[in-house]
């Protein structure tokens, strides 16, 4: 923003038709409408890598929140997978869904997948 008074805002932009920096003056309401066109609708996914949501702009975002009188955001609580499972309303994840006895881990499976074309079958017990 280059200049602002109670009724008009002058800001700089790059005209991509000729690649030159230019200035434009709009009414305050028209300027705010243009800015708000870049705010995503609630509950929509958007790329948050540019503008105020970029990782390098945390200080600017905090300043904007302070100017608008917004409190700093509270980080969401960290849930274990068991707590998230129970919060969803599903049965206890540490017990068998059929008989209700506690589940016992016997081994950890490797994360690596076998090479393409190689098929491994478990031995029948």
Query: Looking at the predicted structure, is the pLDDT value of residue 55 above 70?
Result: yes
Those residues whose C-beta lies under 8 Å from the C-beta of residue 29, and which sit 6 or more positions away, are none
pLDDT value for 72: 87
User: pLDDT for 1-39, tens place per residue?
Assistant: 688 888 899 999 999 899 999 999 999 889 989 888 888
Query: Looking at the predicted structure, is the pLDDT value of residue 74 above 80?
Result: yes
Q: What is the mean pLDDT of residues 75-93?
A: 80
Rounded distance between C-alpha atoms, residue 18 and residue 70, angstroms: 40
Query: Looking at the predicted structure, is the pLDDT value of residue 82 above 80?
Result: no
Q: 0.85 exceeded by the pTM?
A: no
Q: What is the mean pLDDT of residues 98-119?
A: 78
pLDDT value for 79: 83
Q: Where are the beta strands (DSSP E) in the chain?
A: 3-4, 8-15, 20-27
Those residues whose C-beta lies under 8 Å from the C-beta of residue 62, and which sit 6 or more positions away, are 72
Q: What is the mean pLDDT of residues 31-50?
A: 80
The edge-to-edge listing of strands for the beta sheet with 8-15 is 3-4, 8-15, 20-27
Exposed (0-12), middle (13-18) or buried (19+): which is 85, by Cβ within 10 Å?
middle
């Amino acid at each position: 923003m280059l200049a602002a008074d109670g009724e008009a805002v002058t800001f700089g932009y790059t005209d991509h038709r000729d690649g030159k920096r230019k200035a434009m003056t709009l009414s305050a309401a028209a300027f705010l409408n243009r800015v708000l066109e870049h705010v995503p609708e609630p509950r929509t996914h958007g790329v948050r890598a540019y503008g105020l949501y970029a990782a390098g702009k945390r200080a600017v975002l905090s300043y904007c929140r302070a100017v608008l009188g917004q409190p700093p955001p509270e980080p969401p609580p960290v849930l274990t997978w068991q707590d998230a499972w129970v919060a969803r309303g599903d049965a206890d994840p540490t017990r068998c869904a059929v008989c209700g006895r506690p589940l016992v881990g016997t081994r950890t499976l490797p994360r690596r997948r076998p090479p393409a074309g190689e098929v491994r079958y478990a031995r029948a017990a």
